[in-house]
A and B are shown apart, each in its own frame.
Chain A
Amino acid sequence: EVQLVESGGALVQAGGSLRLSCAGSEFTSSDYSLNWVRQAPGKGLEWVSYISSSSATMYYADSVKGRFTISRDNAKNSLFLQMNSLRAEDTAVYYCVRDMIHQTGAFDVWGQGTMVTVSS
């Protein structure tokens, strides 16, 4: 079964840093672009960041630009999100999400999510 499993969520103080990881299995990571999507408690979904299959291009939502960095290691089927200068409004469940092949932005596989709580 194709699967994404996130880890690294934690309680952190405002201004702090955190690194999220996502491990993929049962698919060839280098064939797919990947994303992070977040969901604040009781709220809707917000796309956070995108990385192409080869890491050639990365994009970010305006709300995290300059503070978050997405990266990947295809040899280890892994995706990362380095989060710096964290704010209370970054508190959310963070999902690792796979794009459908050749359909960037259609999210066909989701991890179970990892909770990030930023205390002010």
Chain B
Amino acid sequence: EIVLTQSPATLSLSPGKRATLSCKASQSIAGFLAWYQQKPGQAPRLLIYDASNRATGIPARFSGNGSGTDFTLTISSLEPEDFAVYYCQQRYNWPPDFTFGPGTKVDIK
């Protein structure tokens, strides 16, 4: 099983600041990594797929990069609605054994 590790567990920042979230895979997953945002009481929302492609309707302040085992999600300037939990997820293996990271909570400082 491919294990994803996210850091930090919690990121406390003020609106307008830049947020950088990390996701590391236990083995190479090429670029098959997605990022999701989840707010309390809501379903997750796809932000980024295949490491760097923004999903439909996602603002340009969200960007992703990386390949192999190391990936980052950057929020260039935090808006009030961006405070949430962010999960990374890999889809490298077939047959599927899709796994998620434990999440990074971005909260208001």
Please report A residues at the B interface, Cβ cutoff 8 Å: 35, 44-47, 50, 59, 61, 95, 100, 103-108, 110-113
Q: Are A95 and B43 in contact (CB under 8 A)?
A: yes
Q: Are B96 and A105 in contact (CB under 8 A)?
A: yes
A59 to B34, CA, bound (A): 20
Q: Are A105 and B43 in contact (CB under 8 A)?
A: no
A44 to B89, CA, bound (A): 11
Contacts of A95 in B (CB 8 A): 43-44
Instruction: Looking at the assembled complex, report how far the CB atom of A5 sits from the nearest CB atom of chain B, in whole angstroms.
Output: 11
Q: Are B43 and A104 in contact (CB under 8 A)?
A: no
Instruction: Looking at the assembled complex, report how far the CB atom of A39 sits from the nearest CB atom of chain B, in whole angstroms.
Output: 9
Mostly, the A contact residues are: strand
Q: Which residues of B in the span 32-68 have a Cβ within 8 Å of any Cβ on A?
A: 32, 34, 36, 42-46, 49-50, 55-56
Contacts of A104 in B (CB 8 A): 91, 96
The residue of chain A having its C-beta at the shortest distance from the C-beta of B92 within the complex is: A105
Please report B residues at the A interface, Cβ cutoff 8 Å: 32, 34, 36, 42-46, 49-50, 55-56, 87, 89, 91, 95-103
Asked, given contacts A45-B87, A104-B91, whether A50 binds B96 with beta carbons under 8 Å apart, the answer is yes
Asked, given contacts A44-B87, A100-B49, whether A106 binds B34 with beta carbons under 8 Å apart, the answer is yes
CB<8 Å pairs between A and B, sample of 7:
A35-B98, A59-B96, A106-B46, A107-B44, A111-B43, A112-B42, A112-B43
The residue of chain A having its C-beta at the shortest distance from the C-beta of B6 within the complex is: A44
Contacts of A108 in B (CB 8 A): 46, 49, 55-56
The residue of chain B having its C-beta at the shortest distance from the C-beta of A111 within the complex is: B43
Residue of B45, B46, B103 with most partner-chain A CB within 10 A = B46
Contacts of A111 in B (CB 8 A): 43
